[in-house]
Structure 1
Amino acid sequence: MKTFDIRSARSKDIPQIGEVGLASWKRGIGPHVPPVSHDSVSIETFTGFASARLDQIVVAVKDDRVLGFTATEQANNFITDLWIDPDCESSGLGTALMEEAERRIAARGYHTAEISVLLQNERALSLYRHMKYEDVQEETKFNKTLKSEITSIRLRKHLQFYADEIA
């Protein structure tokens, strides 16, 4: 039984997107990056992102409370963000948001969806692999925002449905 709704983000969601994004970042990424990285990530990081890309964000909500969100920042087939309120993990939100992102990607005419995840973020990596995403490339590079080298894995999924099936 689904206890949340999935919809496009609205401007009134921006503050909650900031809160959810930061809490999720602290749980999923924070433990795996040096302390200097924490200084560059704040609620404003997520609210600024949401303000600039609101049309590319999908939220999971219950009673007007944002529980999680996903985004395709450039309106292409690359899922740039998936953040779930830590209190709502393991509730199906991540899967539901990813599936909605995939539907929207297919509606744009793409036959694959891609995402990149911090190698040490085993929980997220497990979700993506469970959803049939396959490893494409592992890369270590300096991240300007986090002020440190990070290792991430890019994953790809061949979508089983296409734009003409979505209408």
Structure 2
Amino acid sequence: MHHVRNAREDEIDALTGIGLRAWAQAMGPIGGTEAMLQNALRAFGDFVRSSWVKITVIEEGGVPAGWASREALDEQITDFWIDPDHQRRGLGSELLQAVEEEVRQHGFDEIKLETHAHNTDAVSFFEKNGYRVNWLSIAYAPKLDQDVQSVGMSKQLVAPAPEGYGVEF
């Protein structure tokens, strides 16, 4: 059974591990080094430790299986990670729907995110859930010593009001 809830402070290590494993899987097409992995471990640990109150968790069988965050509590998903051992079971879609509802309840009409363009699993997942690519950028990543392509994606959460005057027939 799946359950979506707020993160707890005592889950820092578990959430850090989920983020790191999912990040390592997503980095496959780009490549990386052991130093990058260690930097990512530190970054995930620091983020989860300082921002656990901004993290939404999905658990499977009572165990955290993924998490998402909106660092500024706005319409931007900044982190979305499902443990590779728990993927393709509907957890990502369920977590995404919960985050979309949070964003909608906070008065935003649109939700946004970005990911690297070669993370085809993530791009495909978000497209299947109604997101569209809005932009593509290429920037040099010093830690990777290469250019990395990123895509920005968004989804309308509220149907736009009809334009014009009067009633349409």
Q: TM-score range by the shorter chain?
A: 0.7 to 0.9
* 8 Å contact kept, 1:80–1:116: yes
Match in the other structure for 2:164: none
Q: 1:50 aligns with which of 30, 48, 53?
A: 48
Q: Look up the match of 2:113.
A: 115
**Given the alignment of the two structures, is residue 158 of structure 1 paired with residue 156 of structure 2, yes or no?**
yes
Q: Which amino acid aligns with 1:40?
A: N
Deviation at 1:146, TM superposition (A): 5.3
User: Quick one: distance in 2 between partners of 1:68 and 1:49?
Assistant: 15
For each residue in 1:53-98, what CA deviation from the matched residue of structure 2 results, as whole angstroms up to 9, or x when unmatched?
1121100113442100011111110001111111111011111111
Question: What letter is aligned with 2:55?
Answer: I
**Percentage identity across aligned positions?**
23
User: Pairwise CA RMSD of aligned residues?
Assistant: 1.9
How far apart, CA to CA, are the structure 2 residues paired with 1:70 and 1:145?
Answer: 24
Matches within 5 A, 1:1-150: 3-35=1-33, 37-42=36-41, 44-143=42-141, 148-150=146-148
Runs of 4+ in 1 over 4 A off after TM superposition: 144-148
TM-score by length of structure 1 reads 0.86
Q: State which structure, 1 or 2, has the greater radius of gyration over its C-alpha atoms.
A: 2
CA distance in 2, matches of 1:75, 1:148: 31
Q: Secondary structure at the match of 2:99?
A: helix
Cα distance in 2 between the residues matched to 1:147 and 1:56? 31
Secondary structure in structure 2 of the residue aligned to 1:40: helix
Matched position secondary structure for 2:72: coil
Q: Which range moves more in the overlay, 57-66 or 31-40?
A: 31-40
The question of whether the paired residues in 2 share the 8 Å contact of 1:105 and 1:113 is answered with yes
SS in 1 for 2:39: coil
Residue 45 of structure 1 and its aligned partner are, at CA, apart by 2.0
* Whole-angstrom distance in 2 between the partners of 1:80 and 1:12: 22
Q: TM-score, normalised by structure 2?
A: 0.85
Deviation of 1:33 after TM superposition, in Å, equals 3.3
- The amino acid that maps onto 1:142 is Y
Identify which range, 146-155 or 82-91, moves more after superposition: 146-155
Query: Bigger CA drift: 29-38 or 95-104?
Result: 29-38
The DSSP-based 3-state class of the residue aligned with 1:32 is coil
Q: Which moved more, 1:23-32 or 1:84-93?
A: 23-32
**Distance change (3 Å), C-alpha of 1:12 and 1:146:** farther
Could you list the per-position Cα deviations for residues 106-165 of structure 1 after superposition, in whole angstroms to 9, with x for gaps in the alignment? 11111000010111111111010011111110011134665643111000100048xxxx
C-alpha deviation, 1:39, in angstroms: 4.4
